[in-house]
Amino acid sequence: MATISFSSPAAASPRSSISSPSVCFSHNASTLSFHSLPKSSPIFTSVTLRPINRTKPRLLNVSVFVANKLSETDSVSVPSEQGAIDAVFPKASGVYAVYDSNGDLQFIGISRNLAASVLSHKISLPDLCSSVKFDVVDDPDKTALTQSWRSWIEEHIAVTGKVPPGNDSGNTTWIHQQPKKKKTDLRLTPGRRVQLTVPLEDLIDRLVKENKVVAFIKGSRNAPLCGFSQRVVAILESQGVDYESIDVLDEEHNNGLRETLKRYSNWPTFPQVFVNGELVGGCDILMSMYEKGEIASLLKS
């Protein structure tokens, strides 16, 4: 008969590690004994240590635009003929300063199109826009333009002790020139895929006769796509007249308008301005009437 014995190993020396109790069979197969086995030595696997790749932080290239000093910038006379403004001032972004006929600084501003801004001031405030200093900002962003504007403002304040009248929040002359929300452009059709039940020429005829002032332009009134259309919009806006505008380049909603309008008006170019159902003309005629002081009476008739 097999016997079961309980035995314990000899007392371990203080240096021996503590082992876990386990069950095993002795060499005598008939004897089942419970005792402690020596704890096996720990096994270490091979570990490869790799150095941490500590790369230097990448520095961002931040360019800071430094504008020319206001006092060192040449003054350019604004042409009396507004059609010549595009030839004198660039259609580029930059900072500009407007002077009156006495050489007094009136306003410092920033623009994405310097020529368009000068034209707008010349039309709306001709007596206060006699000459302009400007500095083009290459590859501009909002920060660069603001830095240029701030440097000119601070330079002027350091010399005179005051801000330019046009930049003073209490000055209503220039504040009223802030752009207001403009009307949207008219569309003659819902889309080119819609079959018209009325000829396009009849739609044009109804449009110009039912509205006092109608301007057929390239682009929208908010973003004209040619200099002539831009001048026409600027003149109409300066007069405060309520007018309708139609984009002749909008092929989706005004498909075929350009050729049809040429036949209707017997006028080959754009923009075209109609007042009281009659064709006044294009940009050159409107500019000439404006410079002669005739445009206001025409629009109010």
Helix (H, G, I), strand (E, B) or coil at 162: coil
- Residues 205 and 295 occupy one common structural domain: yes
Nearest residue to 217 (alpha-carbon basis) of 285, 284, 272, 157? 272
User: Structural domain of residue 126, as residue ranges?
Assistant: 75-160
Residue 184 belongs to a domain: no
Residue 101 or 179, more confident: 101
The C-alpha atoms of residue 154 and residue 147 are separated, in whole angstroms, by: 10
Read off the pLDDT of residues 142-197 as tens digits, 9 standing for 90 and up: 788 888 899 999 999 999 998 998 888 777 777 554 455 568 899 988 888 888 88
Do 187 and 243 touch, CB atoms closer than 8 A?
no
Q: Where are the alpha helices (DSSP H) in 79-171?
A: 85-88, 114-124, 142-160
Domain boundary, last residue among 128, 160, 192: 160
Q: What pLDDT sits at residue 180?
A: 53
Domain total of the chain: 2
Q: Which residues of 164-194 are buried (b: 16+ CB within 10 A; e: fewer)?
A: bbbbeeeeeebeeeeeeeeeebbebbeeeee
**Could you say which of 133, 160, 187 is where a domain stops?**
160
**286/205 same-domain check:** yes
Query: Is 28 within the bounds of a domain?
Result: no
Q: What is the pLDDT of residues 17-40, one digit of tens each?
A: 333 333 333 344 443 433 444 444
